[in-house]
């Protein structure tokens, strides 16, 4: 079960990184070996059977002050109530990777709204409680609260035991890659997670700490080729699957831009990356399988998953920003040979603008009316009309059933 594997991973992480939470500190490295057995067997020595597991991700978690107010719980904040409607997708995943678009405010500072966001530290606690295993942190808003906000974000993720990539507290830490070890059918599969952004909102890289923000392309100090080299290094360090979270594209555009397709093609043609989770547009964009990928088997990409939750409004941006995606990747683990991503499925979600609660859209369109929801039939239909024509244009079918745990997350390491 999710709780069991989360506890197991947390225990391993604490043992490996007990001093990782200090400001500016470099987490110690674990001696855990990262290479998977080339010919895995069961504990009895019998030949290993084929198996599979799932990786789930979602759209931007964009915490406007309206969302923070909706999450108020006594003197603090609890976001779990707002996202309870999609919790089965998070808990059912064998590995769940979120996308936190905004930084956590430094100690003693207050949360802030657009254009310079800052979220309460309790968001980290809520993400952990919901069942997320880690997050992408490289976005155009990563530096909204300056370098101290980066430090606070990473400190809080380490405090609650969440994996992360995309921002860093030190130059040495910025070179590390986030790894997750998943035991599937008795075989250990290592998943590497990288997070990068091509966008900065015009905010300069912090002087003397340019390494703290993983910006690639013309606005950063690194190229997309450098990101490919990170993936290649992850393979050398034992990764079986490489996942990249990309913050890219143009806001409120429902199809990938030329920049997205160019970067996506470069990542796919490298042969190093299995799966790309895209975000930034705040509206859903399609899923595709690009030529290339490891062994020439293709690279799956969702160009953008829209918003998981935000304070954006229908009045300002239309119904598209009230819809987002949960995406479920299936990783096949054969008895012998390399693990591979065999499918990437999408599930539409919808936000109730009046309560900021999030629900699975197909359940609403089929007639379900949760007591905590205030949406009218017309409002539900408007969210559906803003989502399904985009996602179903290629004939792909929506996944409507949450995944169920198939594997166990047994380790997490930043190295």
Within a domain: residue 263? Answer: yes
2 pLDDT tier (thresholds 50, 70, 90): low
Task: Give the per-residue pLDDT at 12.
Answer: 42
User: Around Cβ 309, how many Cβ atoms within 10 Å?
Assistant: 25
- CA–CA separation, 209 and 276 (whole Å): 27
Task: Give the per-residue pLDDT at 1.
Answer: 44
Q: Which of 25-34, 312-321, 373-382, 394-403 has the lowest mean pLDDT?
A: 25-34
Task: Give the per-residue pLDDT at 48.
Answer: 73
Task: Give the per-residue pLDDT at 39.
Answer: 36
Question: What's the domain range around 211?
Answer: 2-8+51-414
**Total count of residues recorded for the chain:** 415
Phi-psi region of 355 (alpha: psi -120 to 50; beta: other; left: phi over 0): alpha
Instruction: List pLDDT tens digits, range 237-270.
Output: 999 999 999 999 999 999 999 999 999 999 999 9
8 pLDDT above the threshold of 50: no
Within a domain: residue 40? Answer: no
Within a domain: residue 26? Answer: no
Dihedral angle computed from the Cα positions of residues 359, 360, 364 and 366, in that order, rounded to the nearest 10 degrees: -160
Within a domain: residue 247? Answer: yes
Within a domain: residue 106? Answer: yes
Within a domain: residue 32? Answer: no
Instruction: List pLDDT tens digits, range 170-218.
Output: 999 999 999 999 999 989 999 999 999 999 999 999 999 999 999 999 9
CATH of the domain at 257: 3.60.21.10
More confident residue, 68 or 20: 68
Instruction: List pLDDT tens digits, range 181-194.
Output: 999 998 999 999 99
7 pLDDT tier (thresholds 50, 70, 90): very low
297 and 265 Cβ atoms separated by less than 8 Å? no
27 pLDDT above the threshold of 80: no
Instruction: List pLDDT tens digits, range 332-352.
Output: 999 999 999 999 999 999 999
Give the count of domains, the chain.
1
Within a domain: residue 45? Answer: no
Task: Give the per-residue pLDDT at 20.
Answer: 33
Share of the chain above pLDDT 90, in %: 87
Within a domain: residue 156? Answer: yes
């Amino acid at each position: 079960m999710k709780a069991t594997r989360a506890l197991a991973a947390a225990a391993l992480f604490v043992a490996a990184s007990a001093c990782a939470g200090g400001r500016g500190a470099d987490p110690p490295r674990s001696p855990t070996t990262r290479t998977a057995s080339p010919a895995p067997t069961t504990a009895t020595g019998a030949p290993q059977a084929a198996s599979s597991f799932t990786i789930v991700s979602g759209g931007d978690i964009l915490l406007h002050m309206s969302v923070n107010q909706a999450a108020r719980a006594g003197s603090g904040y609890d976001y779990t109530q707002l996202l309870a409607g999609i919790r089965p997708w998070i808990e059912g995943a064998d590995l769940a990777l979120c996308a936190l678009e905004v930084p956590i405010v430094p100690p003693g500072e207050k949360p802030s709204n657009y254009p310079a966001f800052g979220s309460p530290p309790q968001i980290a606690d809520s993400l952990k409680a919901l069942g997320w295993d880690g997050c992408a942190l490289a976005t155009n808003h990563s530096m909204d609260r300056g370098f101290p906000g980066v430090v606070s974000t990473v400190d809080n993720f380490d405090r609650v035991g969440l994996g992360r990539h995309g921002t860093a507290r030190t130059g040495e830490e910025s070179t590390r890659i986030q790894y997750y070890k998943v035991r599937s059918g008795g075989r250990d599969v290592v998943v590497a997670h990288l997070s990068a952004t091509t966008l900065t909102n015009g905010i300069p890289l912090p002087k003397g700490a340019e390494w703290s923000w993983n910006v690639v392309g013309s606005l950063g100090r690194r190229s997309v080729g450098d990101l490919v080299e990170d993936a290649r290094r992850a393979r050398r360090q034992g990764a079986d699957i490489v996942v990249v979270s990309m913050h890219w594209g143009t806001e409120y555009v429902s199809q990938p831009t030329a920049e997205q397709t160019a970067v996506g093609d470069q990542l796919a043609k490298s042969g190093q990356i299995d799966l790309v989770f895209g975000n930034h547009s705040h509206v859903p964009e399609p899923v595709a399988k690009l030529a290339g990928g490891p062994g020439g088997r293709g690279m799956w990409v969702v160009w953008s998953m829209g918003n998981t939750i935000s304070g954006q409004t229908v009045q300002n941006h239309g119904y598209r920003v009230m819809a987002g995606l949960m995406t479920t990747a299936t990783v096949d683990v054969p008895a012998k040979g390399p693990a591979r991503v065999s499918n990437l499925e999408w599930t539409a979600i919808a936000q109730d603008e009046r309560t900021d609660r999030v629900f699975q859209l197909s359940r609403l369109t089929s007639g379900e009316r949760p007591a905590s929801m205030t949406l009218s039939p017309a409002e539900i239909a408007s969210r559906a009309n803003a989502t399904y024509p985009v996602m179903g244009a290629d004939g792909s079918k929506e996944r409507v059933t949450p995944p169920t745990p198939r594997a166990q997350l047994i380790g997490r390491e930043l190295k």
